[in-house]
Amino acid sequence: MNPTRRSLMAAGTAWTLLPGPVAGAEGAGGLHIATFRADVTPPKGHPCCGGWIKPIEVVDDPLEALGVVLLGAGKPIVLCAVDWTGILNEAHVAWREALAQAAGTTPDRVAVHCVHQHNAPFACLEAEKLVAAHAELPHIVLPDFHARAVDTVRAAVAAAIGKAAPVSHVAMGRAKVEKVAGNRRLDRDAAGRVKSMRGSACRVARLTDMPEGLIDPDLRTVAFYNGSRKVASLHYYACHPMSYYADGRVTSDFVGLARKARQAEEPGCHHVYFTGCAGNIAAGKYNDGTPKARADLTFRMLAALRASEAGMEPEAVKTVSWKTAEMLPTARVKPSVAELLASIADKNLKGAARNRPAYEVAWSRRLEKKIPVVVSALTVGGVSLLHLPGESFVEYQLRAQSMAPGGKVAVAAYGDGGPWYIPVKEEYPAGGYEVSVAFSDDSIDGIMTGAMKRVLAS
């Protein structure tokens, strides 16, 4: 089914266009939580990161889709984190519709996010159709595998519902992450334009000697309790999650390895990791791309996961709310769709220069169909969980903390990946890689900030 606005309404989604009222639900009586886990590791030969790095040759550790379903506060609420590079546009709608069907809810009450590892699938079904028309181009995602993965997670959600545990308390903890994150956009000329990027891995002393720059140094954990028993811990940190990649070896990388280690330490609690607003944040200051660096980053993340849960003070859950607001940003004018289609067809171009334009065409066509991006927030007691699209800059996460009472908000980005990078307005004139692959113009800043304010409003 083509996920147009009409089909979403037919599926039972209650949409509310900005600047109208915000959709919400209140209540905490009989709150329960169900936890789910599914293996979404692609097969050998599947493309990684949209088809412009080496496809899968070896699986070092599996990729997972993990999450929770909250029941008892209106229709069920589903939160899911996937060890993939991204899920975009029609594919993201398909995931939300499938998980909603499994949980007995509506797609607007489902938040699906990617952790954003790069040796992993980057799923856009419309972009895949565009490149599939050119036999010489590598695939972006294999649709049959994508459909199987969605069905696997759907089944895991459905099976989890019958095993839900009561939720009586919630707590938020936080801990500083030592020597992991740094801002990527520090190297600038006199006019403030970005000259070079300190990426996920970096061996240029001039760049690694620069300070961390603007980051959010803290990892936040939101934990749900059944009496004194911790049932689920949701972890949030803003940093690109790659130590090294493009070698054909599937891995959940240092954030996933740390999550798995924490899960092994505490098997009675379900641990889920969400990447925050990391569009301009990566580990390059502290990572030279070696196996030792991956091990060091994993150890530092695991230490922060442990520390964030130490000394938590659970509070009884008295209220629960779920609020949504839609976004329909404006696609950037240049390059035009005609120019993008020409690039896809140009056999003199290679790799990302032909595949990447397919993602931007998909975004432009999606906006023409007026298929919105949904921003949502779950507030349990005094703790909020904010769900944002794309590769949002860390400034949005810091803004959210200023909007939420007491700053008690955990932010997951990398939801619907359709817009790709989402810089703040002030960064567009500075250029750089992130701005070059921001598929909307700078008006998206005001649109998304407005949506954040509405869903975080008490």
What is the rounded distance in angstroms from the CA atom of residue 294 to the CA atom of residue 314?
33
pLDDT digits (tens, 9 = 90+) for 175-222: 999 999 999 999 999 999 999 999 999 999 999 999 999 999 999 999
What is the rounded distance in angstroms from the CA atom of residue 393 to the CA atom of residue 457?
21
What is the rounded distance in angstroms from the CA atom of residue 412 to the CA atom of residue 391?
10
- Are 319 and 458 within 8 A, CB to CB? no
CA atoms within 13 A on the CB side of 153: 30
- Are 386 and 159 within 8 A, CB to CB? no
- Residue 118 corresponds to which tokens in the numbers above? 């790069």
User: pTM of the predicted model, to two decimals?
Assistant: 0.93
Residues 6+ apart with CB under 8 A from 260: 61, 252
pLDDT digits (tens, 9 = 90+) for 34-57: 999 999 999 999 999 999 999 999
- Are 167 and 232 within 8 A, CB to CB? no
pLDDT at res. 10: 28
Main-chain dihedrals φ then ψ at residue 431, nearest 5 degrees: 65, -145
Low-confidence ranges of the chain (pLDDT < 70): 1-29
pLDDT at res. 29: 57
- Are 364 and 372 within 8 A, CB to CB? no
pLDDT at res. 458: 74
- Residue 85 corresponds to which tokens in the numbers above? 């590079």
